Amino acid sequence: MTTSKIISNGILRALLTIAVVMIALFFLYKIQSVLIYLLVALILTLIGNPFLDFFKRRLKFNHVFATIAVLVIYILVISGFIMLIVPLILSQGENLSLLNIASIENKIILLINQITVFLESHHIDSAQLLQEANITSKVNLNFIPNFLNVLLGTISSFGVGLGSVLFITFFFLKDRRIFILGARKLIPNSHEDQILNSLEKTNHLLSRYFIGLLFQLSIVFLLYLIVLFIFGIPNALIIALLCAVLNIIPYIGPLIASFLAALLTMLSNLGSDFQSEILPTTIYVLIGFWIVQLIDNNLSQPIIFSNSVSSHPLEIFLVILSAGFLFGILGMIIAVPLYTIIKVTGKEFFPENTVIKLLTKDI
């Protein structure tokens, strides 16, 4: 009888635990927008901390005015971005025809026909091969409008939550000491120093990382823009912006950006002769993009991914690659920040471990 009660109580506890977990997950799912706002605000806080310290130490601002100054910088940057990009999207987005799948497919068919004529002029019989392969029916072009819809939807959602994000960021910056004091009360005394040291080092490294990432994307955007302007590509600003945003995805992003740039270059010159204008211009743009990527891979990325988080380039490459295999593109994006947090925590709690000593010798 006693055994039956123990089993029954165990089953009830297990069911209750599962129910609580399911309710918690459902609750988190329902407030996912709030969690996103908190995450964006946290990233803005990490980026803003060095500026906050600069205003306080060098310009002798008090803490509140320094916080307001950082927020004003954010507002000016975001306002400039909106004033620059939104009118271009409204006025030129229709010309790009990126949100119209049927239009893209028609243009792709026309482009394939031009490629066929070009190949046949060089005595290469490709018409039958293209018909048998039925490329136009197999290529799924939904990723282009879907990507842009997600991007525009994200911008729109961010616009709706912009006030909330800035409000949260203001208090994250202003009351960070209060949060630290509150954390001290929640942290067990036996691990207080280790946890607080981990938080401080993580904050420092991730602040450097996100600032470096913004700087890298800005450089890539300007270089892409120069390449597109040199060859007179229409809508160069929007194309450069989209391709620069794709560089957030390590290693794979630049490849997708090159494909997107080549496709948009060909689609924007469909009225021209394929052999004498479309093909050479596309090749030149691709060469220009590859040169930009060489500069980025050999200068920008080593500085950001290695120096900012104190990790070897090969170490970062293996971490990003592993995260990509395990969790896909999202894993590649968050791999470096998450790995940095794990390294810092490992050094504080297991400083004598041989592997951790080797990985964290520069932290």
pLDDT at 95: 47
Q: How far apart are CA 113 and CA 270, in angstroms?
A: 11
pLDDT at 226: 92
Which two three-digit tokens encode residue 256? 């997708």
| pTM for the full predicted model | 0.66
Q: How far apart are CA 326 and CA 332, in angstroms?
A: 9
Q: How far apart are CA 173 and CA 339, in angstroms?
A: 24
**Residues of the chain falling short of pLDDT 50:** 92, 94-99, 101, 135-136, 138-139, 141
Residue 269, helix vs strand vs coil: coil
pLDDT tens digits, one per residue of 197-218: 777 788 778 888 888 888 888 8
The alpha carbon torsion through 54, 55, 56, 59 (nearest 10 deg) reads: 110
Residue 310 phi, psi dihedral angles, 5° rounding: 55, 50
Q: Where are the domains of the chain?
A: 1-30
Q: How far apart are CA 191 and CA 202, in angstroms?
A: 16
